[in-house]
């Protein structure tokens, strides 16, 4: 897949580095995974590693940059995500996100892979899940694309 740029718009440099290292450690192809992961981090939390957008804020359960369930971190292989789980570490969060998307976390479904925007399998082709919707809009009109304008296309999980 060719995207309009190497990185999703407005991704902080530290987040770019964390996603690149997570891709390296999990062995996924960076050219296929970096941009979608950066889009997910942007719309799930605005890259706030202490974000809690999916649960009752009164419970004070931050879900980190990809808004992943706490149990996903303990389900991840310890050589990739050492215990105690470091969910506030953006690299660990990206690793767990990759494992989840690839259906490699025991007890969690996932999507069987990232897939391709114009494909039929994986996360990106799904129109009921946000990353593919946002990336299709960005590819269709990169000069007019606005990150905040595309928020509605993302649709929460």
State pLDDT tens for residues 90-143.
899 999 999 999 999 989 988 999 998 888 888 888 888 788 889 999 999 999
pLDDT at 57: 55
pTM score above 0.85: yes
State what percent of residues in the chain have pLDDT above 70. Answer: 85
Query: Any idea where the domains of the chain sit in the sequence?
Result: 15-150
C-alpha 106/C-alpha 76 separation (Å) is 8
Q: Which of 36-40, 50-54, 116-120 has the lowest mean pLDDT?
A: 50-54
Report angle CA 50, 37, 83 to the nearest 5 degrees.
50
C-alpha 2/C-alpha 53 separation (Å) is 30
Under 8 Å between Cβ of 78 and 111: no
> How far does Cα 27 stand from its chain's mean position?
16
């Amino acid at each position: 897949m060719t995207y309009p740029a190497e990185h999703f718009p407005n991704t902080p440099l530290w987040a770019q580095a964390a996603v690149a290292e997570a891709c390296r450690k999990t062995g996924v192809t960076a050219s296929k995974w970096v941009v979608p992961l950066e889009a997910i981090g942007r719309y799930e939390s605005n890259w706030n590693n202490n974000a809690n957008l999916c649960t009752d804020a009164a419970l004070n359960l931050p879900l980190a940059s990809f808004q992943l369930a706490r149990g996903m971190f303990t389900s991840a292989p310890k050589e990739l995500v050492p215990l105690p789980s470091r969910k506030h570490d953006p690299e660990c969060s990206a690793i767990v996100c990759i494992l989840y998307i690839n259906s490699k976390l025991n007890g969690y479904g996932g999507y069987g892979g990232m897939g391709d925007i114009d494909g039929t399998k994986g996360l990106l082709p799904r129109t009921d899940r946000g990353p593919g919707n946002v990336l299709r809009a960005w590819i269709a009109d990169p000069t007019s694309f606005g990150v905040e304008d595309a928020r509605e296309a993302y649709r929460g999980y």
